Amino acid sequence: MKFSKEELLKFYETMLKIRKFEEKVSDLFSDGHIPGFLHLYIGQEAVATGVCSNLKKDDYIASTHRGHGHCIAKGADVNKMMAELFGKETGYCKGKGGSMHVADIDIGILGANGIVGAGIPIAVGAGLTAKVKGQGQVAVAFFGEGASGIGYFHEALNMAAVLKLPVIFVCESNNYAEFTPREKHLPIQTVAERGSAYGIKSYMLDGNDVLAVYETFDEVVSRTRKGEGPFLVECFTDRWSGHFVGDPQRYRPLGEKEELQNKDPIIKLKVFLQQEYENANDEINKIHQTVDNELAYAEEFSKSSPLPHGESTLEDVYAQGKQYECNSI
Amino acid sequence: MSVIRFNKAINMALSEEMKRDANVFIAGEDVAEAGGSFGVTKGLLNEFGESRVVDTPISEGAIIGLAVGSSLTGLKPVVEIMFMDFMAVCFDQIINQAAKMRYMSGGKMSLPLVIRTQAGAGFNAGPQHSQSLEALLMHIPGIKVVMPSNPYDAKGLLKTAIRDENPVIFIENKMLYGLKGEVPDEEYVVPFGKANIVRKGTDVTIVALGQMVNKAKSVTKQLEQQGISAELIDPRTITPLDKDTIVNSVAKTGRLVIVHEAVKTGGVGAEIAALVQEEVFDYLDAPIQRVAAPFTPVPYSKPLENYFLPDEQKIIEAVKKVCIGRQFPQLVGRD
């Protein structure tokens, strides 16, 4: 597949934005600006970017607890994302969701999810809507290989296959289920094998190569739009950081982290760009500047945004009014 | 007015709402071809086709997931969990997803979905097919919980449930499916959070849930003959709960008996008793009594199940217990 320079630079920008967002929020977390848990997406940027670059605004994604990358790649506003992580009123969820629940229904993000595997059947539901409405949308479920041990994964694959829904199951095989290495929780070599048990055509690819991801999804998404789904795609990638920020990663073999740097999806694309285009560095530098500015603004926006008032705790529980629309407890 | 059975009332509500709104669809195990295990969805497949009446695999978790995802994206699912006991299989999707997503999104997401399920003992269906688990659901903010006691309410409440923008759990007691009752021929709905004062009275308030409303109703007639005027309240929905109607009634009668089929421990009755003592403790003339099942699983064998289920005699005893005293000297020493 031949990519234009613009396309390649756009991939670069999206991946860089994810990387820099994660680095920044990690620093802000360490400095005490962000409470709770942070599960970073660093190392996996090529997957979200390659997948979501094939999606339209009205396509759906159901994300994971490691969801920042998916949301950015699908077009989420980094100001609102970061403010949400700060627990501010201006955040996507008015400070009620936090890192694990960033959602933007207006651009098809059905939410990051704090429960491993829970987004998978939700994507199946969105796929049903897409099929019923018949407007050619697709629904993508992101999950890690650890989530393929969850019952919902199997139920969702079976259901989507039986009902022939336009759903793409995207497994980000990043080698660790929380703290447990792949070989200790997966009795088979690949999650892709599981697709065949449900009659679902499955693909495997190098998830650190954004061009490979894009190329496969170009085919898979268009076939899904035509009603040939569901599909399962296993993207082999690497989780650079721990399960969460602060995880000491004692389970990781010595030297592994250093090796991962050699598989950096962003460097890989950068080298490709430099080989293809003489003046690539100028444009790459420009992108770095743009992304840095954008994230500096997001930080400023988040820091200067107001915290929510305590009473707003009672809002948004139900569609009408506060806790209940009538007298109650 | 027509006289129809409870299951027909639900069937009519589904059919009418599916006609009214093309986004409404039904999904669940055996709901299409088979018409549901209690015949509730019979005929709907023929009427609306297989894209709107969807038979699913036996996957309760994915059924609720299907409802969550499709409701988030513009449809209005009415899914069925065949027996309430099976909700245990899909609690993540109910508790962590359906109930939380509006809140977690700061109010931007809407989940207009209904989960119909069937509860209760009386069919010798054993410990895994007879439970009443509404208290577990009442404990979860973000969902609404409906417990109809008659065909009129069943139809009107289900229509309200389908039109509601929130996740609603609609609990049908399996002993009620054959119950006949009057239902208007014209369109109507029954609002949530408005208790039904089934019978007015002055001496004691009885709050009964679901199927127990019918047992309490027959008890009130017997009590009348013994000189006790009981006010019977059917909350209809336990979330939202019509606190005012209950509290005002107790303030008037000074006595409260709560009747439900679920086990007494941690039951809805405990919540109602607590809120009454918070609001109108000083109006109470006697300790509140709860008539509920003992703290055991629902047994299989007939005499065991009969022992388990609250019956009219137990309700009468509880009422007499709170009524014994100054105003009812005739009750002293009886039974």
Q: What pLDDT is attached to residue B331?
A: 62
- Asked if A122 lies within 8 A of B244 by C-beta distance, the reply is no
**Tally of CB atoms within 10 A around A306:** 10
- Asked if A118 lies within 8 A of B73 by C-beta distance, the reply is no
Q: What pLDDT is attached to residue B328?
A: 63
Taking the CA of residue B81 and the nearest CA in chain A, the distance in Å comes to 15
- Asked if A129 lies within 8 A of B70 by C-beta distance, the reply is yes
Judged against a pLDDT cut of 60, whether residue B52 lies above it is answered with yes
Place of tokens 């059917």: B234
Q: A60 contacts in B (CB within 8 Å)?
A: 69, 73
Phi/psi of residue A187, nearest 5 degrees: -80, -5
- Asked if B103 lies within 8 A of A96 by C-beta distance, the reply is yes
Taking the CA of residue B96 and the nearest CA in chain A, the distance in Å comes to 8
Nearest by CB to B240, which of A93, A151, A326? Answer: A326
Mean pLDDT of chain B: 96
Q: What pLDDT is attached to residue A292?
A: 98
Cα–Cα distance, B225 to B67 (Å, whole number):
50
- Asked if A327 lies within 8 A of B67 by C-beta distance, the reply is no
Q: How many residue pairs bridge chain A and chain B with CB atoms within 8 Å of each other?
A: 178
Strand partners, A177: A180
- Return the CATH fold of A5-314: Rossmann fold (3.40.50)
- Asked if A121 lies within 8 A of B69 by C-beta distance, the reply is yes
End-to-end CA distance of chain B: 42
B235 is written with which tokens? 């909350």
pLDDT in tens, B53-100: 999 999 999 999 999 999 999 999 999 999 999 999 999 999 999 999
Q: Which residue of A has its CA nearest to B142?
A: A317
Cα–Cα distance, A293 to A287 (Å, whole number):
10
Cα–Cα distance, B260 to B270 (Å, whole number):
10
Cα–Cα distance, A122 to B273 (Å, whole number):
38
Active-site residue (options: B52, B129, B236, B260): B129
- Give one DSSP letter per residue of A156-203, joined into a string: HHHHHHHHT--EEEEEEE-SEETTEEHHHH-SSS-SHHHHHTTT-EEE
Strand partners, A60: A139
Cα–Cα distance, A40 to A23 (Å, whole number):
9
β B114-119/A201-206 pair status: unpaired
pLDDT in tens, B183-204: 999 999 999 999 999 999 999 9
Cα–Cα distance, B232 to B206 (Å, whole number):
5
Q: What pLDDT is attached to residue B329?
A: 57
How high is the ipTM of this complex? 0.93
pLDDT in tens, A63-117: 999 999 999 999 999 999 999 999 999 999 999 999 999 999 999 999 999 999 9
- Asked if B62 lies within 8 A of A111 by C-beta distance, the reply is no
Mean pLDDT of B133-161: 98
Q: Is B260 left (phi over 0), alpha (psi -120 to 50) or beta?
A: beta
- Is B62 at the interface with chain A, CB within 8 A? yes
- Is A253 at the interface with chain B, CB within 8 A? no
Q: What pLDDT is attached to residue A320?
A: 75
In this prediction the pTM is 0.95
DSSP state of B237: E
pLDDT in tens, B230-239: 999 999 999 9
Judged against a pLDDT cut of 80, whether residue B115 lies above it is answered with yes
Average pLDDT of adjacent 10-residue blocks, chain A of 329 residues: 95 98 97 95 98 98 97 98 98 96 96 96 98 96 97 98 98 95 94 96 98 98 97 97 93 92 96 95 97 98 97 92 48
pLDDT in tens, B237-290: 999 999 999 999 999 999 999 999 999 999 999 999 999 999 999 999 999 999
* All residues at 6 or more sequence positions from A146 whose CB lies less than 8 Å from its CB, including other chains: A116, A176, A177, A178, A180, A185
β A180-181/A176-177 pair status: antiparallel
Percent of chain B whose pLDDT exceeds 70:
97
- Is B96 at the interface with chain A, CB within 8 A? yes
Taking the CA of residue A115 and the nearest CA in chain B, the distance in Å comes to 8
Q: What pLDDT is attached to residue B324?
A: 84
Amino acid at B228: I
